[in-house]
Amino acid sequence: MTTILDGKKIANEIQSEIAKEVEEIKQDGKKIPHLAAILVGDNGASQTYVNNKIKACKKVGFEYTLLQYPESIREEKLLANVDRINEDEDIDGLIVQLPLPDHISGVKVTEHISSAKDVDGFTNVNYGRITSKKPGLMPATPFGIQELLNRYEIDIKGKHCVIVGNSRNVGAPMSTIMSYHENATVTVCHIHTQDLALFTRQADILIVATGQPGLITADMVKEGVVVVDVGITRIPADNPRGYMLKGDVEFETVKFKASYITPVPGGVGPMTIASLLLNTLKATRARH
């Protein structure tokens, strides 16, 4: 029987744990975690993501600051605003919602964030520290996936984990976490891998993060596989919103072969936000 990896449920549990700790922090008169978010432009999806992060901050009792700038903002001005937040002793964590407009370098802006406040875990410093036994602020989505698997007590050690997608934000750090911290045997594939199904059929744990809806079908997985679908793409649909959300895995057919599988939405997404909160709490502890 297939078990749904309910990221929303686990994220709520984590948020309850954080809220309890924040209440204790308040009672002790200590520093309350403060997260700042920068949103550039009026991209609907980005606004939704940022709003969800702000709601999560409210739920756990964090202080928060939302800074919104027009799409026309110059790169130099945006970097100056990042510097200002880096220097603000009251702010413990900073996220800059991606993607940014074409005239602004996302890499440059990300690297401008202080590694001590980089709760997305995107800077080179935090990325590099994944290979440490005492890592810094972990990349949020891979950290969330690790937490989800561990909280469902899924046996990872020695298992063959196949990751489809080698992005710097998900696939690459995920491979390090699974091999170095969880002692899995890891294979990394991507959309250019020849005969992709040859590899995905070998997976005990399959993590897919390509942004290609429906890439993984039932004939590409073996019985009993654990499936984590990171993909979430808006596709046109005949409903009031005009779109539906679809993952990289054909959920309705793959679920009959999987032992565990994440839904889209409600799987990895909520865990990413929970990870941001955990990182913010960790950053606050380290700075105060």
**Domain residue spans of the chain:** 30-115, 140-268
For the stretch 219-234, pLDDT in tens is: 999 999 999 999 999 8
- In tens, the pLDDT along 132-177 reads 888 889 999 999 999 999 999 999 999 999 999 999 999 999 999 9
What pLDDT is recorded for position 233?
Answer: 92
Average pLDDT estimate for 101-124: 96
Q: What homologous superfamily is domain 140-268 in, according to CATH?
A: NAD(P)-binding Rossmann-like Domain (3.40.50.720)
Between 241 and 231, the more confident residue is 231
Write out the two tokens for 277.
């909160």
List C-alpha distances in Å: 249 to 27, 100, 132, 282. 46, 27, 32, 33
Helices 44-60 + 268-287 axis angle, to 10? 60
Position 243 pLDDT exceeds 90: no
Return mean pLDDT, the chain: 96
Predicted confidence at residue 64, as pLDDT, reads 97
- pLDDT-based confidence at 218, cuts 50/70/90? very high
What's the pLDDT at 1? 85
Q: Are 61 and 32 in contact (CB under 8 A)?
A: yes
CA distance 143 to 176: 11
On the question of pLDDT at 43 being above 90, the answer is no
Percent of the chain surpassing pLDDT 90: 91
Q: 76: burial class by Cβ within 10 Å (0-12, 13-18, 19+)?
A: exposed
Q: What is the pLDDT of residue 63?
A: 98
What are the C-alpha distances in Å from 118 to residues 25, 153, 288?
Answer: 22, 29, 16
Overall average pLDDT of the 21-46 stretch = 95
Using one digit for the tens of pLDDT, what is the confidence trace for 49-75? Answer: 999 999 999 999 999 999 999 999 999
Q: Which of 43-52, 70-79, 131-140, 240-249 has the highest mean pLDDT?
A: 70-79
- Residue 172's nearest CA partner among 201, 199, 209, 200 is 209
Give the type of residue at 45.
A
Say what the pLDDT of residue 134 is: 85
Has domain 30-115 been given CATH number 3.40.50.10860? yes
**Distant-in-sequence, close-in-space partners of 197: CB < 8 Å, separation ≥ 6:** 219, 220
Q: How many CB atoms lie within 10 A of CB 6?
A: 18
Catalytic residue numbers, as ranges: 53, 97, 120
This prediction has a pTM of: 0.95
Task: Please determine, for residue 183, whether its predicted confidence score (pLDDT) is greater than 90.
Answer: yes
First to last CA, the chain: 47
Between these two residues, 279 and 241, which has the higher pLDDT value? 279
CA distance 217 to 161: 17
pLDDT for residue 45: 83
Is residue 194's pLDDT more than 90? yes
Q: Given this model, what pLDDT does residue 237 score?
A: 87
pLDDT-based confidence at 190, cuts 50/70/90?
Answer: very high
Contact 217, 201 (CB under 8 A): no
DSSP lists the bridge partners of residue 68 as 39
